[in-house]
Amino acid sequence: CGACVTFCPTTAMREKREIPKLLHAFSVGKIVAIQFAPAVRVSLAELFGKPVGTICTGKMISAARKMGFRYVFDTTFGADLTVYEEANEFLTREKRPMFTSCCPGFVNFIERYHPDLIPYLTTTKSPMAITGAVIKNHFAMKMCLKNIFVVFVGPCTAKKDEICRHQIMNDVDCALTTREFGEMIENYEIDWDSLNDKEEFDTVAGEGWTVEFGASGGVATGVMKYLCAKYNVPYEVVFENVPLMTGLKETTITIDGKELKFAICSGISTAANLIDTELYLTYDFIEVMSCPLGCVNGGGQPKISKYAQIHNRSKAIRNIFKNANKTVLDNSAMEYVYTDYLGDPGVGLAHKLLHTSFQERKVENKK
């Protein structure tokens, strides 16, 4: 199982089941939309006997439509917005390093054990919350929909805890794991092999690109590529493979004459070491994923025990990433959504919908 089950200090690690909540939404006639995290499309097929790392995007969408979901979205669109907002936030913030905050296992770790570091967390919401906010606001307004119920399917048990945070609780109504979605496919008696593998997502404004969020290094890569493109600096791929033993990889880029040090921590224990030794202060930007190798290895994924197999999922994610040489700045869907709706990144409506806050949480003494 993923490290979020081992390290995540939340009650979510008991994998609270949310299928009944979803079935209730269907039964009372709600308009139900679903969004899929990047890492689900490279693992779901394993539950139906396919090799580890099989890409099954079309079949996953097709299964959701057969179950009755009215709209099927890609959380990758929210990941593009996360990159946009996070990169702009990074450029303006004085308190560095900026830690990523899209992994709820890490956020819970900071809020409970290192609340003094809360000011270092990016306030940009996770792709799940951003996608939910955009569906419930921009998309619902465009389509004249009221009370849309948004379901998230992801690799992560800790997302069940994240959707209950009061700061984002209007964004997503129900969080299922990859395993729960697979269970639903079985319960609905849907034949996996006969599903259409060419089916496509509905979109809020266009395709999302940053599917690499599903593996360690994806967030840092997205932000670095954005900055390099904006300042016309050549970008070199660095964060594709993280050394499993240390879980740490770093690099430097020069932007506007300043050297900026980026690091990725693959596994919460790597981040904990950086914090304990105060080495985190030597970086400008740090991505943290609680599960070693990232969400491909999340606690809600089909269970496999060999890291070599997890690598197959990471490779599959990178194979999906069609626009590897481009940045979200090239994605016309981003330009459209900011011009048509959000305004400028980090201010006004973009700030209201796409940013969040954090607060110290008490550590419960379990009996």
Q: Dihedrals φ, ψ of 337, to 5°?
A: -70, -35
User: Phi/psi class of residue 125: alpha, beta or left (left: φ > 0; alpha: ψ in -120 to 50)?
Assistant: beta
Question: Which residues 147-186 are close enough to bind ligand SF4 by CB under 6 A?
Answer: 155-156, 158
- Structure tokens, 233: 């600096």
Sketch the per residue contact string, 208 through 227, with ligand SF4: x for CB under 6 A, - otherwise: --------------------
- Structure tokens, 128: 């799940």
- Using the contact rule CB under 6 A, the part of the chain among 142-150, 274-282, 294-302, 319-327 near ligand SF4 is 294-302
DSSP state of 339: I
DSSP 253-283: EEETTEEEEEEEEESHHHHHHHHHTTGGGG-
DSSP 16-40: ---HHHHHHHHHTT--EEEEE-GGG
- Using the contact rule CB under 6 A, the part of the chain among 2-10, 197-205, 279-287, 311-319 near ligand SF4 is 2-10
The H-assigned helical ranges of the chain are 3-7, 19-27, 57-67, 76-92, 104-113, 127-134, 140-142, 159-162, 178-187, 218-230, 268-276, 307-320, 332-337, 348-354
Q: How far apart are CA 253 and CA 142, in angstroms?
A: 40
Q: How far is the CB of 104 from ligand SF4 (least distance, A)?
A: 6
55 binds ligand SF4 (CB under 6 A): no
Using CB under 6 A, count the residues that bind ligand SF4.
15
Q: How far is the CB of 141 from ligand SF4 (least distance, A)?
A: 29
Q: Which of 325, 320, 322 is nearest to 53 (CA)?
A: 320
Q: How far is the CB of 54 from ligand SF4 (least distance, A)?
A: 19
Question: Which residues 99-128 are close enough to bind ligand SF4 by CB under 6 A?
Answer: 103-105
Q: How far is the CB of 351 from ligand SF4 (least distance, A)?
A: 23
Q: How far is the CB of 46 from ligand SF4 (least distance, A)?
A: 16
Rg of the chain over all Cα atoms, to the nearest angstrom:
19
291 binds ligand SF4 (CB under 6 A): yes
**Cβ distance to ligand SF4 smaller for residue 126 or 137:** 126
Q: How far apart are CA 143 and CA 122, in angstroms?
A: 31
4 binds ligand SF4 (CB under 6 A): yes
Q: How far is the CB of 14 from ligand SF4 (least distance, A)?
A: 14
Q: Dihedrals φ, ψ of 252, to 5°?
A: -125, 140
- Using the contact rule CB under 6 A, the part of the chain among 90-98, 141-149, 203-211, 293-301 near ligand SF4 is 293-301
DSSP 301-316: SPP---HHHHHHHHHH
Q: How far is the CB of 269 from ligand SF4 (least distance, A)?
A: 13
Q: How far is the CB of 281 from ligand SF4 (least distance, A)?
A: 23
267 binds ligand SF4 (CB under 6 A): no
- Structure tokens, 115: 């609340």
- Using the contact rule CB under 6 A, the part of the chain among 18-26, 254-262, 278-286, 290-298 near ligand SF4 is 290-298
Residue nearest to ligand SF4 according to CB distances in the complex? 298
Q: Is residue 152 within 8 Å of residue 176, measured between CB atoms?
A: yes
- Using the contact rule CB under 6 A, the part of the chain among 20-28, 84-92, 292-300, 341-349 near ligand SF4 is 292-300
Q: How far is the CB of 28 from ligand SF4 (least distance, A)?
A: 30
289 binds ligand SF4 (CB under 6 A): yes
Q: Which of 240, 214, 220, 287 is nearest to 37 (CA)?
A: 214
83 binds ligand SF4 (CB under 6 A): no
List of residues contacting ligand SF4 (CB under 6 A): 2, 4, 8, 103-105, 155-156, 158, 289-291, 294-295, 298
